[in-house]
Structure 1
Amino acid sequence: MNHLKALLIKFVMIAVVLIVVLTLIFDVPFMDSIWTSLVLTVLAYILGDFLLFRLAANRSSQNVRNMIATGGDIIIAFLTIWYMQVALVDANGSIALGSFIAAVIIGAGEWFFHKYLDGNVVSKNTRTTADLEADYKK
């Protein structure tokens, strides 16, 4: 249930950013922004939050994990938004700028979303690969 709530929060955050940036500023159709939000939510949650954030570093270095995952999320967001807009809209060069702006804003939101994940979704008993390596080196 916690993952479903996290996915919903992430979708709303991404959809709001994409509707404001792409639809209102760059004249992308509303439904294209929604489809892009849906695809990006799933991709970023699996790749950025579930894999990268959890496996980036040990739990004691939360800021390092957060920086790595946020950087990854910005890259994932830019590539996904840009590709989806090229595929859905007969996009011109300005869509790359819109994709970049949206990705940076989403990245800022991801910084806080990772803090939410760490406190509410990822179990305190979950051990990452980095945690196991740190224990092995002791």
Structure 2
Amino acid sequence: MNMKLLIGFIVKFIMITAVLLIVLAWIFDVPVVDTLLISLALTALSYVMGDLFIFLHAGNPTDQKTRNSIATFIDFTVAFLLIWLVGRILGSTSEELLVPGLLSAMILAGGEWFFHKYVDRRIMPGYNIPARNR
């Protein structure tokens, strides 16, 4: 695995874990182990699907704002659904997960907006620059 990709994964894991520990574990009393499992699952899924696939390939390659908007919306949706689904598997009810899932997903979507800029600049620099401008 490319070292830049691994560093990006670690940065994303730290961001997601910090948000979920605060929102799920601290505010809503979700067990820390459950929160860490949700963080790991969400990081793996959203990094591969949201950052390395959708963000890099959505829309015009030179239109970072449109690609970022599409990927951030997908990341919000995936975060909410995954928190809800994993929480259900771990024994919570749908009602118990609605507010924590939505709050976590909204905060994470804000972080994702900046993380996508980091992906463009540090992880995949030049990936979406037309060949004539490289």
TM-score, normalised with respect to structure 1: 0.88
Residue 127 (structure 1) shift: 5.0
For the residues of structure 2 that align with 1:10 and 1:114, how far apart are their CA atoms? 10
Matched to 1:104, the amino acid is M
* C-alpha RMSD of matched pairs (Å): 1.8
Q: 1:25 to 1:44 in 2, by over 3 A?
A: same
TM-score, normalised with respect to structure 2: 0.90
Contact 2:51 2:71 in 1 (8 A): yes
* Gap runs ≥5 in structure 1: 133-138
For the residues of structure 1 that align with 2:128 and 2:64, how far apart are their CA atoms? 13
Contact 2:84 2:94 in 1 (8 A): no
Match of 1:14 in 2: 16
Match of 1:116 in 2: 118
Matched to 2:15, the amino acid is M
Identity across aligned pairs (percent)?
A: 40
Residue 82 (structure 1) shift: 0.7
**How many pairs are equivalent?**
130
Residue 42 (structure 1) shift: 0.3
* Gap runs ≥5 in structure 2: none
Contact 1:26 1:95 in 2 (8 A): no
Match of 1:40 in 2: 42
Residue 89 (structure 1) shift: 3.0
